[in-house]
């Protein structure tokens, strides 16, 4: 075991904070981590040190020598001064390193992992997954240790890691999952019970798909990510494939998952989560993926036990518009919520978002960052944006900009050649030869960390002429309210159910709601303080017509910093309180008939919390509420079964029971 320390402090360029064009949250200071080294620096991860939150540690893929190495950055004084260096040869197994990732253990040690391989023998005994550990916030490192004592005849790729910090029976276990090549590729998993000093024998958690379709087995997939739930259960999510050979070999790229209830010793079997876009290209010819990024609420707060899943996908309208989507599970992964869109730019603008990363902090707050093209009217250059969920993933806040300067795809593919110590360009065949084709123009992920109210992020930035690593540190912001329901211009009854995203921690924020028939709110019809993000009182006495509404969020006195937002951009709705025709009772899927399919929909709604009920236009009556008691319950399932299968009369007839 070897120790490494003694970074050389690099010059730090401190940029002034600026107010972004979108929203009121100031852009945080952007600091160069890697400096303007030759070659490309990309594919970042980051952690705020739990032992001292004024220190931030990053790692990234680095080509300053002309080939793949790992750089480690260390930011002190809250990330205002950075040091950066490559992992020295004394802590390397082979000559090439790639795919850096990071986690922390319950004691606050920082753990990094990366691929460590011999490019000439990477499929024949030259491929390791290596680990380094720091117990002093990145000042020095011990290692390396590897998953396998002796590598086999395969190549290990795209490993991601996590650590059990639940305080349960598996507390401190370090978990790693990855893809093992060659064909058929499989998703592998291994665990360490001694802080990465040794690892159990790896097991297959995502096997190649055996099928008669397409002439043979289908590779298991890529981008696996391990996750530990509140109860200590271990999950591995990945981007794979789902094939239905019984339906004409239907194929979809999909997110899949496997689960262990005993700390990774045994596994329940891989299963389908949902179909996704998979591999694609964003504007600028940037490689993008539907890589699952995950986290779990392991706190003792109100959303403890929630599982969170986020990914990039394509919205079909407008076509090929890349978005960041999110689901949560309230039942340890058995079922998942309806899909939410995290980015809040208008869909009509066809702006691409990609390379997202997600974290849940020690208070249960969700933080997400991603690359975003909304600041460029041509939708070509991109920035880093952030969004938050303060209510356990039920809603996502307005987004705000993190990067001060936009990056351009035009600088992503530039092949640079490092100068050797004599100042001349490297010769072909030397260790500093020109870069070979890279994994994606922008690599494949970025990083974000959050402890308490402190957030840190790292990303790839082109402001200095090629790819460099930048970082920022800021505090959880009070965001402008994001209006969710009703949609602009939607018709509602006298109880409109106005709903907006939580703008700050649920118990530490209140809202000022205004409703008026004048878009300028000269003399609001309603001006009310609300202590939740929902207003569902009836608008008694309001005549039918078009109304506008807006929200302002504030923190109560005594909370630091005490501040408030501007009013949101107004939403609108049409009030129509006249009686309506709610249609056929039992028509849960709104196809104008009551069939066995409606029973399935209602069962999913009642027993699996899936959003399956159908509300007729302009009418609050849910056709699955068979007995008209104002809710859909198991009793309604019995009534609907009697109606569909026994032709018994419905208990409730439309709007008039």
* Residue 414 reports pLDDT greater than 50: no
CB atoms within 10 A of CB 629: 13
Residue 171 CB partners (closer than 8 Å, separation 6+): 106, 164, 165, 232
Nearest Cα residue to 438 out of 285, 276, 219:
285
Q: What is the mean pLDDT of residues 269-280?
A: 95
**Is 413 a residue whose pLDDT tops 90?**
no
Give tens-digit pLDDT for 587-621: 777 767 778 777 877 787 777 766 655 654 444 44
Q: What is the pLDDT of residues 106-125, one digit of tens each?
A: 999 999 999 999 999 999 99
Q: How confident is the model at residue 652 (pLDDT cuts 50, 70, 90)?
A: low
- Count of C-beta atoms within a 10 Å radius of residue 504: 24
Taking the C-alpha atoms of residue 4 and residue 139, their distance in angstroms, rounded to an integer, is 8
Give DSSP secondary structure letters for 523-580: S-SEEEEESSSEE----TTPPSEEEEEEEEEEPPTTSSS--BPPPPPPEEEEE--S--
Buried b (16+ CB within 10 A) or exposed e, 198-210: ebeebbebbbbbe
- CA separation for the pair 612, 462 (Å, rounded): 46
Neighbours of 360 (CB within 10 A): 23
pLDDT 10s digits, 486-511: 988 888 888 889 999 999 999 899 99
Predicted confidence band of residue 431 (pLDDT cuts 50, 70, 90):
very low
Q: List the CATH code of the domain at 483-575.
A: 2.60.40.10
226 pLDDT above the threshold of 80: yes
- Residue pair 304/232 in contact (Cβ under 8 Å)? The answer is no
Angle at 582 between CA 578 and CA 585, to 5 degrees: 155
Enumerate the domain spans of the chain.
2-475, 483-575, 580-657
CA R_g for the chain: 27
> pLDDT, tens digit, for every residue of 401-410?
999 999 998 8
Q: State how far the Cα of 269 lies from the Cα of 146, in Å rounded to an integer.
A: 26
More confident residue, 603 or 289: 289
Closest CA to 45 of 106, 113, 144: 113
Find the mean pLDDT for residues 434-458: 81
Q: Which CATH class is domain 580-657?
A: mainly alpha
- Whole-model pTM? 0.84
User: Which of 61, 127, 142 has its CA nearest to residue 94?
Assistant: 127
Within a 13 Å sphere around the CA of 546, how many CA atoms are in the beta-carbon half?
A: 8
Element (H, E) at 387: strand 383-389
Best CA proximity match to 24, nearest among 563, 415, 596, 647: 563
Q: Any residues with CB less than 8 A from the CB of 541 and at least 6 apart, and which?
A: none
Whole-angstrom distance between the N-terminal and C-terminal Cα of the chain?
A: 76
Per-residue pLDDT tens digits for 4-58: 433 333 333 332 233 333 447 999 999 999 988 888 899 999 999 999 999 999 9
Is the confidence at residue 622, as pLDDT, over 70? Answer: no
Share of the chain above pLDDT 70, in %: 85
> Strand 571-575 and strand 490-492: pairing?
parallel
Give the per-residue pLDDT at 579. 57
Query: 303-360, pLDDT tens digit by residue?
Result: 999 999 999 999 877 778 999 999 999 999 999 999 999 999 998 888 999 999 999 9
**What pLDDT is stored for residue 575 in this prediction?**
93
Report the run of H or E that residue 468 belongs to, with start and end.
strand 468-475
CA distances from 413 to 78, 286, 416, 447 (A): 32, 9, 9, 21
- From residue 612, alpha-carbon distances to 47, 109, 393, 534, 564 in Å are 40, 45, 19, 21, 37
Question: Domain 2-475 is in which class?
Answer: mainly beta
């Amino acid at each position: 075991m070897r120790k490494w320390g003694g970074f050389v402090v690099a010059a730090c360029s401190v940029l002034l904070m600026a107010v972004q064009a979108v929203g009121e949250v100031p852009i945080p200071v952007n600091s160069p981590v890697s400096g303007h080294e030759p070659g490309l620096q990309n594919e970042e991860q980051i952690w705020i040190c739990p032992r001292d939150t004024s220190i931030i540690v990053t790692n990234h893929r680095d080509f300053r020598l002309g080939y793949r190495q790992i750089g480690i950055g260390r930011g002190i004084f809250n990330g205002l001064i950075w040091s950066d260096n490559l992992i020295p040869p004394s802590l390397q197994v082979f000559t090439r390193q790639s795919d850096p990732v990071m986690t922390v253990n319950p004691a606050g040690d920082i753990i990094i992992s990366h691929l460590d391989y011999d490019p000439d023998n990477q499929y024949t005994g030259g491929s390791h997954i290596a680990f380094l550990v720091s117990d002093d916030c990145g000042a020095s490192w011990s290692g390396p240790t590897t998953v396998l004592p002796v590598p086999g005849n395969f190549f290990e790729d795209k490993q991601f890691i996590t650590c059990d910090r639940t305080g349960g029976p598996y507390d401190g276990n370090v978990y790693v999952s990855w893809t093992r090549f060659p064909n058929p590729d499989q998703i592998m998993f291994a665990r360490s019970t001694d802080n990465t000093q040794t690892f159990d024998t790896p097991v297959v958690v995502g096997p190649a798909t055996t099928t008669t379709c397409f002439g043979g087995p289908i590779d298991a997939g890529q981008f696996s990510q391990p996750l530990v739930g509140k109860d200590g259960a271990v999950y591995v999510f990945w981007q794979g494939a789902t094939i239905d050979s019984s339906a004409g070999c239907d194929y979809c790229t999909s997110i899949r998952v496997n689960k262990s209830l005993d700390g990774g010793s045994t596994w329940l079997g891989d299963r389908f989560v949902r179909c996704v876009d998979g591999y694609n290209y964003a504007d600028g010819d940037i490689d993008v993926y539907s890589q699952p990024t995950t986290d779990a609420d392991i706190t003792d707060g109100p959303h403890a036990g929630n599982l969170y899943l986020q990914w990039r996908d394509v919205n079909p309208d407008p076509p090929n518009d890349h978005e960041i989507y999110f689901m949560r599970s309230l039942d340890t992964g058995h079922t998942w919520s309806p899909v939410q869109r995290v980015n809040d730019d208008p869909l009509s603008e066809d702006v691409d978002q990609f390379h997202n990363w997600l974290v849940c902090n020690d208070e249960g707050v969700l933080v997400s960052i991603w690359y975003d093209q909304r600041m460029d009217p041509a939708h070509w250059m991109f920035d880093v944006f952030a969004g938050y969920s303060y209510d356990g993933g039920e809603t996502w806040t307005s987004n705000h900009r993190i990067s001060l300067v936009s990056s351009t795809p035009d600088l992503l593919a530039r092949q640079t050649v490092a100068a050797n110590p004599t100042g001349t360009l490297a010769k072909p065949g030397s260790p500093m030869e020109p870069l070979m084709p890279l994994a994606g123009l922008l690599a494949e992920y970025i990083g974000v960390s959050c402890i308490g109210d402190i957030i840190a992020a790292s990303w790839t930035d082109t402001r200095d002429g090629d790819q460099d690593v930048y970082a920022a540190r800021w505090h959880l912001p009070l965001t402008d309210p994001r209006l969710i329901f009703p949609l602009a211009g939607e018709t509602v009854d006298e109880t409109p159910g106005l709903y907006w995203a939580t703008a700050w921690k649920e118990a530490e924020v209140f809202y000022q709601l205004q409703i008026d028939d004048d878009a300028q709110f000269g003399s609001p019809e309603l001006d009310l303080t609300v202590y939740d993000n929902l207003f569902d009182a009836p608008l008694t006495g309001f005549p039918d017509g078009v109304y506008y509404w807006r929200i302002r969020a504030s923190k109560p006195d005594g909370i630091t910093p005490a501040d408030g937002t501007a009013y949101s951009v107004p939403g609108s709705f049409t009030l129509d309180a006249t009686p309506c025709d709610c249609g056929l009772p039992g028509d849960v899927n709104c196809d104008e008939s009551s069939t066995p399919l409606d029973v399935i929909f209602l069962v999913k709604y009642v027993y699996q919390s899936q959003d399956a009920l159908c509300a007729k236009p302009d009418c609050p009556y849910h056709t699955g509420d068979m007995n008209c008691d104002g809710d859909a319950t198991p009793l309604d399932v019995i009534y609907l079964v009697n109606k569909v299968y026994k032709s018994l009369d419905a208990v409730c007839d439309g709007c008039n029971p």
